[in-house]
């Protein structure tokens, strides 16, 4: 699988360093994305049902909420990658994650349904990422007022997922 070196500061918004730092510095981000989905899936399938749709503390997200947040975030970042990767230089807006979670209705869905959607989104993301050549991967743009590269956003998808996997393990495992 194609190696994509880790992005440098300036290729992603400053807040995203917490996600980029989660990803190993081996260039295997595409392989990691394939593996990480399976790790997340296996982990949440082992959790008791009552841990899936009850928050660990008042005001916090449930496991199902977290999964839908990861899915929504990946969709948004894949769209941004598509735009930049195809050479669209239009500055892109941010999004309000706090509006998405309550409107996703994750806790009314089965875990299997959510995982099916997660797999579909990941498969689509992987197809897009594998289609990008080296020039597209290094294309630059502007998201939420910050300079970014496609490479930076690929690493954010991977690191964001790892961040939330660790959160689930810490709070629900």
Read off the pLDDT of residues 12-38 as tens digits, 9 standing for 90 and up: 999 999 999 999 999 999 999 999 999
Please tell me the pTM assigned to this model. Answer: 0.97
Closest CA to 86 of 137, 154, 143, 35: 137
Architecture of domain 14-172: Up-down Bundle (1.20)
Evaluate if residue 173 carries a pLDDT over 90.
no
pLDDT at 70: 99
Query: Model confidence over 34-90: pLDDT tens digits?
Result: 999 999 999 999 999 999 999 999 999 999 999 999 999 999 999 999 999 999 999
Tokens (6 digits) for 162: 């790892």
| Alpha carbons 31 and 11: distance in angstroms, whole number | 21
Share of the chain above pLDDT 90, in %: 98
**Cβ atoms of 141 and 83 closer than 8 Å:** yes
């Amino acid at each position: 699988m194609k190696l994509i070196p880790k992005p440098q500061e300036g290729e992603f918004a400053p807040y995203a360093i917490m996600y980029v730092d989660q990803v190993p510095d081996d260039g295997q981000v595409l392989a990691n994305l394939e593996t990480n989905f399976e790790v997340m899936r296996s982990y949440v399938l082992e959790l008791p049902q009552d841990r899936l749709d009850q928050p660990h503390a008042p005001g916090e997200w449930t496991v199902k909420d977290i999964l839908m947040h990861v899915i929504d975030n990946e969709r948004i970042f894949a769209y941004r990658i598509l735009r930049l990767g195809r050479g669209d230089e239009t500055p892109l807006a941010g999004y309000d994650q706090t509006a998405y979670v309550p409107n996703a209705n994750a806790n009314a869905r089965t875990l299997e349904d959510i995982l099916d959607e997660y797999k579909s989104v990941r498969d689509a993301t992987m197809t897009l990422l594998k289609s990008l050549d080296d020039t597209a991967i290094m294309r630059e743009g502007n998201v939420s007022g910050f300079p970014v590269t496609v490479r930076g956003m690929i690493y954010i998808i991977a690191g964001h997922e790892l961040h939330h996997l660790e959160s689930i393990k810490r709070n629900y495992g």
